[in-house]
Structure 1
Amino acid sequence: MIRLALAAALLLSLAACGRSRPRADLVFINGAEPESIDPHVVTDQVGMRIASALFEGLCRIDEAGKPQPGMAERWEVTPDRKTYTFHLRPNTVWSDGTPLGAQDFVYSWKRVLSPDFGADYASQLYVIKNARSHHEGTLRDFTQVGVVALDDRTLRVELENPTPYFIDLCAFTAFYPVPRHIIEKHGTAWIKPGTLVGNGAYTLQDWLLDDRISLHLNERYWDAANVGMKSIDILPISEPNTAINYFLTGQADLIMDKGMVPTSLTAKLKQEPYFHTGPFLGSYFTRFNVTRAPFDNPKIRLAFSLAIDRKRVTEKITQLGERNAYSLTPPGAGQNYQPPPGPEFDPEKARRLLAEAGYPGGKGFPRVEYLYFPKPVERNIAVELQAMWREHLGVSVDLAKQEWKIYLSSMKEKNYHLCRSSWVGDYNDPGTFLEMFLAGNGNNRTGWANAGYDGLIAAAAREADLNQRNTLFQQAEKLLVTDEAVLIPIYHYVGVQFFHASRLAGVQANMIDDHPFRCMRWKK
């Protein structure tokens, strides 16, 4: 057992937990304060974990990361694989007892697709017939969108094309229903404790900023009898040493954040029985703002990519066995998809491209900033990238640190030059990575728009032949990563979980790194 002499952190943890209130069945460290818990607004894993506990879609994810029946107990699919008819469970209700029916899904999906709502994940619904046209404002009549409530318990969904991962999407946050009667009454305040009404396994009991979010079992949840943890405290601790101290002193039961591994202790922690890892569909990369000079020039972007020796990051800093990345999509995404080879470490070519762009040896290159958020591993990676760009290109890159919510806002508003980024697949398909960089996609956040790229992704969506579909995705990824160099792949993630497997069940490494709280239980 590793003993950490972190007296200050221990005192802080004792104060934060508070001895006067009962300990929750499960105490989980979430890594940051969520930006939102509205399932149609959240874009980060921190918020999605909570939203997925409070709400549930037609399907739900099990502990193996696979979609299973949720609000819908069954469904039928037409032979052309384009029309789904979902049958909701009998007597489904919101957590306040209000009946929940098929019309709630129609309302909720209309909310996501509203051009004025601004859902970053609205494009996930583009697989539905006419959804894109409605979201882009060219089709105003929502009744022409392929979703209709046939009756209170039956929902019919018509797709643009056969979509092999549609059932996976039905378990994703953007597809969750939200309570119209609460939203229309309370407006944006509907997600506050005492007001929020959901349909998931848990209800929101408390939300104390920078302290905890408390969840309690939703007694009206259709599967409440099989939920193991009746109460959960979620702590927004972002400092790895403090988080590990909470865990080692028994004040927290679970950590599921790869950024919570103190780099100085990585080698020792990997030997402990409570340290668990497994590969999953996630990539760490650097994102460019292509609307801001000098990164409006693809030669300069490619030069920055070629100047990165990924081994210096994975072997020196992260040390968790991550695979060096030369593509955005990780190996294993989808059926037989092999991402095209991207830019490898080639400092000579990088310097040549920079010179061709007008900055030989980095002379005259303007000062730019690399944006990241405050975790030690993030700062260490930022410093290493900064050093490589200075060493191989002769350019100076300043480091800008922002708190999680501000960092997300800066990315969204494109208030940066280049920044730390990551993406975890929402479902097991290359599209979950590549569709992000479509023009107008709310998660693009680079300002890059390319009609050729959009055409390739659209063609892949229409393509029934798997091999041809993969070829179209490969062409698109080459355009994104190499030809236009909109981003710099750094490494592909491995998942990390801290928990005592001899006591805690229901946590299992899986390809989408999704671990529902409702699946967790203490062993007897």
Structure 2
Amino acid sequence: MITSLIVVAGSGLFALVHFSTPGTEMEASAVTPTVAAPATGDQSPTVSAAVITGGTFRAGIVGRVETLNPLLAQTTAEATVDQLLFEGLVWVDGSGLPQPELAEQWQVSDDGYTYTVQLRRDVLWHDGQPFTARDVLFTVRLIQDPSFPGDASLAMFWRSVEVEVVDAYTVRFRLIEPYAPFLTHLTLPILPEHVLAGTLAADLSKNAFSTRPIGTGPFMVDTIDLEKGSIELVRSPHFDRPVPMFDRVVVQLYENSEEALAAFRHGEIDALDLVPWPAVRDPRLVGDRARVYAPLLAGYTALFLNNQAQLFADVRVRQAIAAAIDRVALVRDVLGGEGEPGNGPIPPTSWAFQEQEYRYDPGMARQLLHDAGWEDRNGDGILEQGGLNFRFTLLVNVDDPLRVAVAEAVARQLGEVGIAVSVQPVPAQTLQRQLLNREYTAALFGWMSSTGDPDSFELWHSSQADIGTNVTGFRNRTVDVLLEEARRSTDQAERRSLYVEFQRLFAEYVPAVVLYYPRYSFVVSDRIGGVDASPLIKPEDHIHQLPRWYRIQE
């Protein structure tokens, strides 16, 4: 489950923060089921046989679909199907850079307040009607409506943006303050005004559009039976960016992974999403024709330390904890390869990532703790200072057994340097409430980017330390300035230099210990070619490449 939180950024522009509690989390590479950790690169089958064009691709997804209106999607299954039906003005690649989709190009004003977007002139809706700037305005107005029934954080963000139609193929957006990540928010799926004109925002969920949608994507709905969990799509005759290799896509929904894996093993489906990591590594469950892909997602799981707590007020203590945790061992021994060892608050696939010199060094950890005044004076194996034992409770969400196992491993590693940790699994909602209320000492939880931009304002700026999502209470004026300037500047090189310095200071002050970056796993038959394992912003983004997939003639 990923929970969205609304936070006020800077002088008023609303931004989205996503905390990941339980999670299917997984990296950029493809593996065979017998490999312990994902290998690097695309391992689509190398064959001399011919490529088959046309035909049907059969996709399996574990989950439910109740609507195909992308503005109302709540599940990964819904978002995945919507990727094939709809488009945004841009799509964001795995490095976090916006790429043209319905937009052809854009210009940003020198002051950073205005974005002027030129649209493609050759786009048609599934019913053959032309796509225009009116559709963009219509979509944003639906979301801005006070009765909009979808994601409240999405609506709050767009209510702070003014939209203007300049001409049939030009849209202008005006912001209330400069906000460099804005382009990454233009992934918003666009709906057709000519189909939904007159529909009240409050009635969107009841409209027939939810099961018979019209989009501009590579495929369109042919037949749908949500009770049986079957959705059949056919190639859109109006889509050529590129022309999909398959004529049809049949999406079969499954209630659980066991049922879905059986269907994949028996060859009833060509691919399967939302597969548990232990299953994809077991050839008995996925079969001998499986190719496993585990791209890196734009997020991380971290040990968050309440910097206002007495135990963690001294930076040397936080540095010691970072040195005492063996992140490589956590990924190898606990996660079984389901992640990449953590190296800082910006994921390694981001254009802004800069590797830091984190290292596992228990000896250095003990020395730092000693320098901070912590010693084991009574020989019980637990450090103490002024009559206070170094003990704390580590919160973790109970509904993610893998994350609980990571917490327990972290507790054992910290125990080796004299820190006693009690792991306390709690419901996800309880954990989030305690974090936001600052009613915790330490917690292990995850964060997922909603856009792919490296903007880290909400999590680490001092203005968010008391009532925002900077739940560690970390305050550093230099970091504040870096984050403020980085979200205002529209120069990517300048932004990167600011984020490089931010990552260096994060490594020095250690407000939290980033443990690992998550992977998302999916399996594809080795009869399917063209699949790669490029990094993803969100799990459903992997299906964006499906038009380039094809069947291999054996």
TM above 0.5: yes
- Higher relative contact order by CA 8 Å / sep ≥ 6: 1 or 2? 2
Residue 150 (1) aligns with residue 180 (2): no
**TM-score of the superposition, structure 2-length normalised?**
0.63
- Deviation by residue 1:335-383 (Cα, 9 ceiling, x = unmatched): 6x52444575544268566959x98398484645211544x64454344
Superposition pairs of residues 393-408 of structure 1, within 5 angstroms: 393-400=419-426
Q: RMSD between aligned alpha carbons?
A: 5.4
The aligned counterpart of 2:409 is 384
Corresponding residue SS for 1:156: strand
Corresponding residue SS for 2:525: coil
Cα distance in 1 for partners of 2:530, 2:262 equals 23
- Deviation by residue 1:105-162 (Cα, 9 ceiling, x = unmatched): 2343456578997654679x7xxxxx7xx63xxxxxx6xx3x3212343323467769
Corresponding residue SS for 1:320: coil
Aligned partner letter, 2:334: I
Superposition pairs of residues 102-251 of structure 1, within 5 angstroms: 102-109=133-140, 119-120=152-153, 135=160, 145=162, 147-157=163-173, 170=186, 172=187, 174=188, 176-177=190-191, 181=197, 182=199, 184=201, 186-189=203-206, 193-194=210-211, 198-200=215-217, 201-203=219-221, 205-208=224-227, 212=229, 214=231, 216-217=233-234, 219=236, 222-223=239-240, 226-227=243-244, 228=246, 230-235=248-253, 239=257, 244-251=261-268
Question: Any stretches of 5+ residues in structure 2 without a counterpart?
Answer: 1-31, 35-54, 376-381
Aligned partner letter, 1:155: V
Residue identity (%): 18
1:421 to 429, 446, 467: 446
Cα distance in 1 for partners of 2:155, 2:318 equals 28
Q: Based on CA coordinates, which of the two structures has the bigger radius of gyration?
A: 2
Corresponding residue SS for 1:312: helix
Residue 238 of structure 1 deviates from its aligned partner by 6.0
Aligned partner letter, 1:421: G
- Aligned pair in 2 of structure 1 residues 255, 386: CA closer, same or farther (>3 Å)? farther
- Deviation by residue 1:154-207 (Cα, 9 ceiling, x = unmatched): 3234677695x876654x2x4645766445361455598537665443449344
1:285 to 280, 288, 301: 301
Q: Identify, as 1 or 2, the structure richer in helix.
A: 1
Q: Is the 8 A contact 2:303 2:444 kept in 1?
A: yes
Cα distance in 2 for partners of 1:383, 1:191 equals 49
The aligned counterpart of 1:101 is 132
The aligned counterpart of 2:536 is 512
Q: Is the 8 A contact 2:273 2:521 kept in 1?
A: yes
Residue 75 (1) aligns with residue 75 (2): no
Cα distance in 2 for partners of 1:114, 1:445 equals 29
Question: Any stretches of 5+ residues in structure 1 without a counterpart?
Answer: 4-22, 126-130, 136-141
Residue 469 of structure 1 deviates from its aligned partner by 2.9
Residue 84 (1) aligns with residue 116 (2): yes
Q: Is the 8 A contact 2:265 2:287 kept in 1?
A: no
Cα distance in 1 for partners of 2:373, 2:144 equals 42
Cα distance in 2 for partners of 1:518, 1:435 equals 36
Residue 489 (1) aligns with residue 518 (2): no
The count of aligned residue pairs is 468
Residue 500 (1) aligns with residue 500 (2): no
Cα distance in 1 for partners of 2:94, 2:492 equals 28
Residue 97 of structure 1 deviates from its aligned partner by 7.8
Cα distance in 2 for partners of 1:63, 1:464 equals 20
Residue 28 (1) aligns with residue 60 (2): yes
- Aligned pair in 2 of structure 1 residues 248, 271: CA closer, same or farther (>3 Å)? closer
**TM-score of the superposition, structure 1-length normalised?**
0.66
Cα distance in 2 for partners of 1:57, 1:364 equals 51
Residue 457 (1) aligns with residue 486 (2): no
- Aligned pair in 2 of structure 1 residues 329, 270: CA closer, same or farther (>3 Å)? farther
Of 248-257 and 39-48, more deviation after overlay is shown by 39-48
Of 37-46 and 476-485, more deviation after overlay is shown by 37-46
Residue 338 (1) aligns with residue 368 (2): no
Aligned partner letter, 1:101: T
Cα distance in 2 for partners of 1:407, 1:504 equals 43
Q: Is the 8 A contact 1:370 1:400 kept in 2?
A: yes
Cα distance in 1 for partners of 2:118, 2:89 equals 8
The aligned counterpart of 2:337 is 320
Residue 323 of structure 1 deviates from its aligned partner by 3.8
Residue 360 (1) aligns with residue 384 (2): yes
- Aligned pair in 2 of structure 1 residues 315, 338: CA closer, same or farther (>3 Å)? same
Q: Identify, as 1 or 2, the structure richer in strand.
A: 2
- Aligned pair in 2 of structure 1 residues 308, 175: CA closer, same or farther (>3 Å)? farther
